[in-house]
Amino acid sequence: MYDVMIIGGGISGLTLAVKLGQCNVKTLLIEKDKKSGLIYKGELLQPKSLEVLDRINTLDVVKENGFILPSIQFHEYTQKQDGSMERLSVNEFRYDLIDSPYNTSLMIPHERLKELLFIEVSKYDSVDYIQPAKFTGFTEDPPHEKKAIIQTKEGEQEIHAFFYVGAEGRASPTRTSMEVDMKSTKYNHHFLTVSFPRPESLNQSTIITTQNKFVGLFPLPNNEVRSVLLIKPGEFKTMRKEGLESFYRAYCELMPELDGYVQQIDTWKKIQLMIPVRHNVSSYVKDNIILTGDAAHSVHPMAGEGMNLAIQDSDVLGELLCWMFKKNKTEWKHLKWYEKVRKPRAEYVSRLSHQAALLYSFPYRPWQKLRIRGVKQTEYSPVLHYKQMLNTSGLGIWKFNLIDRMKQAGILPVKAGVKQISEKRESKVMFTKDDDYPWYRKWDGRK
């Protein structure tokens, strides 16, 4: 009998297992895959995730294995008839506008982050781990007595736990068993992603775009860069017929400095096709079953938020479960605190990522002009810039209003210059521990 069973040994499941291990909650973590898959998964850690990792005592080692990225640059070009590129704008969004010790982002190879979290999990005797073990469903027993059915090397087993957490990712059998509603959004583009050696000059997060082209470049440790190339549906098949030269050309046209580096990708097997899909479920909790990460929500990868939402989900859920067992308040009704905190935050970030994706979805000159204007206005306005970075960071939410959108579109003017956000305003828009864990204030009377 376990207190908590976590189905899925990815970043979300491992983060939750660390939290539960640190408060001695008897936990079983299972992972169905024998080894790491080839599908690309997030590598960009936003500031709030760095704060969470600090809370579970893993931030220092993550920093040692990561690459700090304090800002993101946007380069917009137009391609002339002779093939040459003319720069139209350069803008930079900076995390250091936020008054926080975690005001930066960080790139770390996904599998390395999993290794570091697994090392931390392994320190706790209260956490058991089974790999491979595939969850296939629940028994037909009443809710309080139902068991999870898993397939292992030893055959089928039934596991009984107080709570079951689905952290498997987009294709979640746990979510299917809950029979919750799910809204999905598809997009008119795909991405190719791959890591390769980078020139020393490429040391910042960089987005390079033209009217109809997009590449994102995010430096990794060990002199590598993670690249994300936007393509049309079906274009991957055409590129493969043409050969790798078509892939190299797509990068070198946008950033000539990559010539000689991207060519070190010598097989299509190293290049992954990503088909972006956005979904949100109607409920994160049903009885004693809980969803985290991509099982509950997936976002367009443009803003690099998917893994971060998963980490932040597991932080709140782990803190709640630890409190419930410590206080002997294991009634299922308390799980609603998790959904109350995380659902609105995740859905807001999902909308922002969706809106960002739309800015790069249409290859029209007027659309490019609108995008350039929006990025420029956002950078120049201290308040718009702060809102953009705060909402991206996960450290708080200060929503854009209609006037903000009119300023970004150039309908209303913005006031450029340096302006400090007041402490009073920051206290309203930055998340506190009471915002993250409100049940303490409700039940324990913490002020």
The dihedral through the CA atoms of 170, 173, 178, 182 has a sign that is: positive
Residue 256: pLDDT above 90? yes
Three-state DSSP class for 53? helix
pLDDT tens string 60-74: 999 999 999 999 999
Distance CA 83, CA 92 (A): 26
* Cα 63 to Cα 53: distance, rounded to the nearest angstrom: 10
Same domain, 247 and 217: yes
Tokens of 235: 């274009």
Distance separating alpha carbons of residues 52 and 59, to the nearest angstrom: 8
Compute the C-alpha angle 443/345/349, nearest 5°.
170
Considering the chain, what percentage of its residues have pLDDT values greater than 70?
A: 98
Whether 348 and 302 map to the same domain: the answer is yes
Same domain for 240 and 338, yes or no, is no
- Output the pLDDT for position 313: 98
Q: What is the mean pLDDT of residues 256-279?
A: 95
Q: Is the pLDDT of residue 242 over 50?
A: yes
Structural domain harbouring 150: 2-64+108-186+278-352
Lateral strand order in the sheet of 44-45: 44-45, 105-107, 67-69
Residue 79 lies in a domain: no
pLDDT of 443 > 90? The answer is no
Which pLDDT belongs to residue 446? 53
User: Is the pLDDT assigned to residue 355 strictly greater than 60?
Assistant: yes
Q: Is 17 exposed, middle or buried (0-12, 13-18, 19+ CB in 10 A)?
A: buried
Do residues 249 and 261 lie in contact, with contact meaning Cβ atoms separated by under 8 Å?
no
The average pLDDT across 21-26 equals 97
Residues 200 and 176 in one domain: no
Residues 12 and 55 in one domain: yes
Check pLDDT > 80 for residue 417: no
- Count of domains forming the chain: 3
In the beta sheet, which residues pair with residue 92?
73
The tokens for 327 are 């206080």
Burial tier of 150 (Cβ tally within 10 Å: 0-12, 13-18, 19+): buried
> Are 373 and 348 in a shared domain?
no
| Closest to 291 (Cα-Cα) out of 348, 344, 339, 345 | 339
Residues in the chain, overall count: 447
Q: In what order do the strands lie in the sheet with 155-159?
A: 134-138, 148-152, 155-159
The predicted pLDDT at position 144 comes to: 86
Predicted local distance difference test score (pLDDT) of residue 82: 76
Determine the 3-state secondary structure of 189 from DSSP. Answer: coil
Across 114-133, average pLDDT: 96
How many CB atoms lie under 10 A from the CB of residue 156? 10
Asked whether residue 175 is assigned to any structural domain, the reply reads yes
- Has residue 91 been placed in a domain? no
Report pLDDT digits (tens) over 184-221: 999 999 999 999 999 999 999 999 999 999 999 999 99
Domain match, 194 and 262 both: yes
Shared domain for 127 and 242, answered yes or no, is no
Q: What is the DSSP string of 387-430?
A: HHHHHHHTSB-----HHHHHHHTTSS----S--PPPHHHHHHHB
pLDDT at residue number 265: 97
When pLDDT is cut at 50, 70 and 90, the band that residue 301 belongs to is confident
- Whether the per-residue pLDDT at 127 is higher than 50: the answer is yes
Instruction: Return d(Cα 35, Cα 37) in angstroms, integer.
Output: 6
pLDDT(445) > 70: no
Q: What is the pLDDT of residue 7?
A: 97
Which pLDDT does position 272 carry in this prediction? 95
21 and 130 together in one domain: yes
My answer on whether 145 and 48 are in the same domain is yes
Which residue is listed with tokens 């609105």? 344
* Average pLDDT of the residues in 111-136: 96
What average pLDDT score do residues 91-110 get? 96
Q: What pLDDT score does 447 carry?
A: 41
Q: Residues of the chain with pLDDT > 90: what percent?
A: 88
| Same domain flag for 291 and 169 | yes
Mean pLDDT in residue range 290-305: 92
If asked whether residues 264 and 292 sit together in one domain, one would say: no
Lowest mean pLDDT among 247-261, 296-310, 384-398, 426-440: 296-310
Considering the domain boundaries, does residue 93 fall inside one? no
Residue 74 lies in a domain: no
